[in-house]
Amino acid sequence: MARDGGLHASGDEWRDDHRGDTEDDDDRVSAASPTIAVVTAAPAEEGESQEEIGDDCSPSTERDAIVKKLSAKEIESLKLRQAAPLVTPTDLKTAATKDIAGAMNAILADVFAMYLKTKNFHWHMSGPHFRDYHLMLDEQADQLYAMTDPIAERIRKIGRPTLRSIGHIGRSQRVLDNDADYVEPLDMLAELREDNKTLAERLREVHGVCDEHGDIATASLIEVWIDETEKRTWFLFEASRQGDATGH
């Protein structure tokens, strides 16, 4: 699975996976038609069988030959036309939506990874504080999962694609997984506390990207998520503190 990395590095990887996106607003407008021409082989001349034509004139061979003749710009145009149905209209510039979507998709992958890790620790909790920790982690996992749909839909609202599979999450996440057979309860809390602190830091970075491009809507959602993330960090910190002789 993916290892911890910077916000911009993940954003670059996301942008590399979506090279079909254009840098020019006018190109996005011209790509509005969802229709793509399909090249097929010409029918055989009268009296000529398909066998006489031979393999070199098969539909796939002719399509390959035509594709080879297309310029890079023409291929790019075809990709844009294919993606046109997913390009939601927005007044944000192309560069803005690319930067914001790249950053938010990395956040989404991290949140999914943190959700599963929190559920993992919830399921495998043990010890004298089992009930308290078990219930707390269940509540925190629900809160993380509740973030995922708004993040993904926000990305779609600005006309960009979001995560498509578990594999896509694995390639994009920066949160480290923990597949250990056994983890001490206090180590579980400490690891989740650090993950939440890092998430809050990354959310602030994305907030800065949104401010730079004037995306007030995404920034306002992030502010709520930062507050929720800091609350989880607080609870994990207090729950992991060692009591004194009086139990306090």
Amino acid identity, residue 99? D
| Total count of residues recorded for the chain | 248
Separation CA 195–CA 203 (nearest Å): 12
Between residues 126 and 65, the one the model is more confident about? 126
CB under 8 Å to 239, separation ≥6 — which residues?
129, 132, 133, 136, 189
**Residue 245 backbone phi and psi in degrees, to 5:** -65, -25
Phi-psi region of 11 (alpha: psi -120 to 50; beta: other; left: phi over 0): alpha
With CA atoms as reference, report the closest residue to 225 among 246, 196, 245.
196
For residue 210, the 8-state DSSP code is: H
- Residue 71 — pLDDT band, cuts 50, 70, 90? confident
Domains of the chain: 7-12+89-239 (1.20.1260.10), 33-86 (no CATH)
pLDDT tens sequence across 23-43: 444 444 343 343 334 333 444
The whole-number pLDDT of residue 58 equals 60
pLDDT tens sequence across 218-247: 999 999 999 999 999 999 999 999 866 565
Separation CA 55–CA 45 (nearest Å): 16
For residue 84, the 8-state DSSP code is: G
**Residue 158 backbone phi and psi in degrees, to 5:** -95, 15
Residue carrying the six token digits 């035509």: 66
The CA angle 136-146-190, to the nearest 5 degrees, is 35
Examine the pLDDT at 210 and tell me if it is beyond 70.
yes
Three-state DSSP at 12 gives helix
